[in-house]
């Protein structure tokens, strides 16, 4: 990574309009342990290319490594309120939220990771964990609850009945031989 930095700087000087050069330079600086330089490079890239997914992801990664998970969470939320995330990007947003101390949001973004990955039951479980976090405001509570109800609608009928019943009220099981 250290050897790549001067090469990427040279490329960037020649073609400052190429987003990839800025992103790669910021990544190389980060991997070479030049966290402040990486942050500066990627802040400039964010200014020039707002809401660019690779730039934002690299910037958030640098912020996390620089001990600023709150800012990482903010830039990721801004991005993914405008661009649908991939499963890995949703998971990274959950990690940033958790590192920033936003535990309920971390569960929410992990639920979105599971939705994108196709595991609705696990997504609902994550939302139930979010609802159990102390100190939720009413907007969060309603948001999580509404998302649970929405996801339950997509479950197959038998599975949906079990989900609606929840873990504390299991449905009776018919044990008679068929």
The per-residue pLDDT for range 84-139, each reduced to its tens digit, is 999 999 999 999 999 999 999 999 999 999 999 999 999 999 999 999 999 999 99
Confidence of residue 2 (pLDDT cuts 50, 70, 90): confident
Percent of the chain's residues with pLDDT above 70: 88
* HEC string for 112-161: HHHHHHCCHHHHHHHHHHHHCCCCCCHHHHHHHHHHHHHHHHHCCHHHHH
34 contact partners, CB below 8 Å, separation of at least 6:
5
The per-residue pLDDT for range 27-83, each reduced to its tens digit, is 999 999 999 999 999 999 999 999 999 999 999 999 999 999 999 999 999 999 899
């Amino acid at each position: 990574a250290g050897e790549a930095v001067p090469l990427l700087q040279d490329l960037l000087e020649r073609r400052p309009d190429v987003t990839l050069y800025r992103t790669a330079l910021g990544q190389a600086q980060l991997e070479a342990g030049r966290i402040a330089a990486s942050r500066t490079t990627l802040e400039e890239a964010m200014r020039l290319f707002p809401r660019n997914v690779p730039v934002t992801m690299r910037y958030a990664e640098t912020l996390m490594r620089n001990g600023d998970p709150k800012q990482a969470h903010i830039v990721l939320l801004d991005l993914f309120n405008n661009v649908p995330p991939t499963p890995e990007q949703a998971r990274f947003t959950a990690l940033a939220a958790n590192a920033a101390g936003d535990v309920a949001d971390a569960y929410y973004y992990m639920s979105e990771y599971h939705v994108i990955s196709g595991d609705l039951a696990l997504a609902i479980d994550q939302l139930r964990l979010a609802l159990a976090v102390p100190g939720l405001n009413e907007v969060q509570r309603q948001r999580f609850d509404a998302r649970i109800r929405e996801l339950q609608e997509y479950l197959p009928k038998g599975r949906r009945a079990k989900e609606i019943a929840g873990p504390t009220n299991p449905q009776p099981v018919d044990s008679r031989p068929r």
